[in-house]
Structure 1
Amino acid sequence: MPYEAWFKSEGYEVYHPESVCEGEGDLVPAGRWILAGTGFRTTREAHSEVQEYFGVPVISLTLVDPYFYHLDTALFVLDDDNIAYYPEAFSPGSREVLARLYPDAVLATREDAMAFGLNSVSDGRHVFISPGATALAGRLAGRGYVPVPVDLSEFQKAGGGIKCCTQEIREIRS
């Protein structure tokens, strides 16, 4: 595959997973750990495989609402210490885990989540967000973040948003 050849030519190791994993749709690096979604597309076995490969703790989260089929439709990382998410997209146990790990998280409404407001990208200050997620943008601004609306309404018709248009290359540190 051309992308695999490019990564190899640039000195990156290419790993072929054994378990079903939808990549950064269900794997979200979040500071000290990786938040990992399961329930619709990525298997729980993939979470163990990711932890073994990267040597970073993986926090498994179960998605329960089919409208939020990937973790990146229900949650995004604001900075090394905080996230934004839609609680009802997760099982009760996963909601409890998120509440304990992120007691100051920014919570989204269903309307914001349905507008792909959680398929956002943050640099720690600026949050590139769907213009339809107005309540979430207001909550983010109230916490000191700078919402930057990006209209991808045509792309959303295919089931994706801002995060889906990124290819982040980062070093994962344990």
Structure 2
Amino acid sequence: MTATTLSRPGASASTASTPADAATDASGAPAAAARAARPRRYLMCRPTHFEVSYAINPWMDPAEPVDTGLAVAQWERLYRLFRELGHRVDLIDPLPGLPDMVYAANGATVVDGRVLGARFRNAERAAEGPAYLEWFRARGFATHDPAHVNEGEGDILLTGRYLLAGRGFRSVSAGHAEAQEFLGRPVIGLDLVDPRFYHLDTALSVLDGEEIMYYPGAFSAGSRRVLQQLFPDAVLVDEADAEAFGLNVVSDGLHVIHPEPATGVAARLRERGFRPIAMDLSELLKGGGSVKCCTLEIRE
């Protein structure tokens, strides 16, 4: 797939490039010439019923007005962008009474065509897990209804070798063990300690294979040491960009779609040969989610 500069309403007008003959950057990571976008398959849910009527994370404030129409418009831009970049996007029907169903990443974890369903900690979201699992079951996927709390790709992120699994605010260690048994990938448990970063996908993102970026302050001291040992060349993000949800991104191996305010993340990605694309999802951030939260990857 060739990368193009796209004109999109509400998004950054350009992508960044690096010299075509550079094989690596200063850190030794692959530069633009060595990177390639790989077509992906995603599942998304239109925010037809989006609102903030309760608070289950520090970003939610029911007293702050929400413009559902604007949330839909911002989501539509992200949906169109994925398709412009050559990715397949499936849609699950939004259900009344489930305003957070737009955050599709929380709905399951899909690896090698096997679907580990989600079990939510908060009662307000409990019905989302069965809804997503039924979508996959109806399409012939091998599914597992979990016995323990795990909140899908919100807390389980796949690298080339590992399932990185967050715990501390939502998902639990027993859910990690269940994921390892069903998905057949080794799990690395990581302790989240800052309630602003209540899901792993707000504190860490997988860019390509074993390349990750993360905000160290979101993790316990022991988990930081684990990340340093496993990913010594990781991109480290500062607190300001982490607070802007700059780690809640989607990467296809070349393009990295990120929240518009995370300008520092964009600069670091360009240094590594990625092509950042900024998106305005400010209305959906009122529910505590951004680009990645809206996107569940289907790995067949």
Partner in structure 2 of residue 59 of structure 1: 188
Compared CA separation, residues 59 and 131, structure 1 to 2 (3 A): same
Identify which of 78, 81, 96 aligns with 2:210. 81
**Equivalents in 2 of 1:42, 1:84: separation in Å?**
21
Partner in structure 1 of residue 265 of structure 2: 136
Partner in structure 2 of residue 159 of structure 1: 288
Structure 2 residue 120 is matched with structure 1 residue 5: no
Deviations 1:38-71 (A, max 9, x none): 0000011111111111111000000000000000
**Structure 1 residue 98 displacement after superposition:** 0.6
**Structure 1 residue 5 displacement after superposition:** 3.5
* Aligned residue runs from structure 1 range 55-134, under 5 A: 55-134=184-263
Structure 2 residue 160 is matched with structure 1 residue 26: no
**Structure 1 residue 72 displacement after superposition:** 0.2
Q: What amino acid is aligned across from residue 170 of structure 2 in structure 1?
A: R
Partner in structure 1 of residue 168 of structure 2: 39
**Equivalents in 2 of 1:101, 1:161: separation in Å?**
27
**Equivalents in 2 of 1:22, 1:10: separation in Å?**
21
SS in 2 for 1:78: strand
**Equivalents in 1 of 2:289, 2:222: separation in Å?**
27
**Structure 1 residue 3 displacement after superposition:** 4.0
Of structures 1 and 2, the larger Rg is shown by 2
**Structure 1 residue 4 displacement after superposition:** 3.5
- Root-mean-square deviation (CA, aligned residues, Å) is 1.1
Q: What amino acid is aligned across from residue 150 of structure 2 in structure 1?
A: C
**Equivalents in 1 of 2:175, 2:132: separation in Å?**
22
**Structure 1 residue 6 displacement after superposition:** 3.1
Greater relative contact order, per chain length (Cα 8 Å cut-off, separation 6+): 2
TM-score by length of 2: 0.56
Unaligned runs of 5+ in 1: none
Aligned length: 171
**Structure 1 residue 131 displacement after superposition:** 1.1
**Equivalents in 1 of 2:266, 2:195: separation in Å?**
24
**8 Å Cα contact 2:197/2:203 also seen in 1:** yes
TM-score by length of 1: 0.95
**8 Å Cα contact 2:133/2:145 also seen in 1:** no
**Equivalents in 2 of 1:4, 1:70: separation in Å?**
20
Q: Percent identity?
A: 57
**Structure 1 residue 2 displacement after superposition:** 5.1
**Equivalents in 2 of 1:96, 1:63: separation in Å?**
13
**Structure 1 residue 14 displacement after superposition:** 2.1
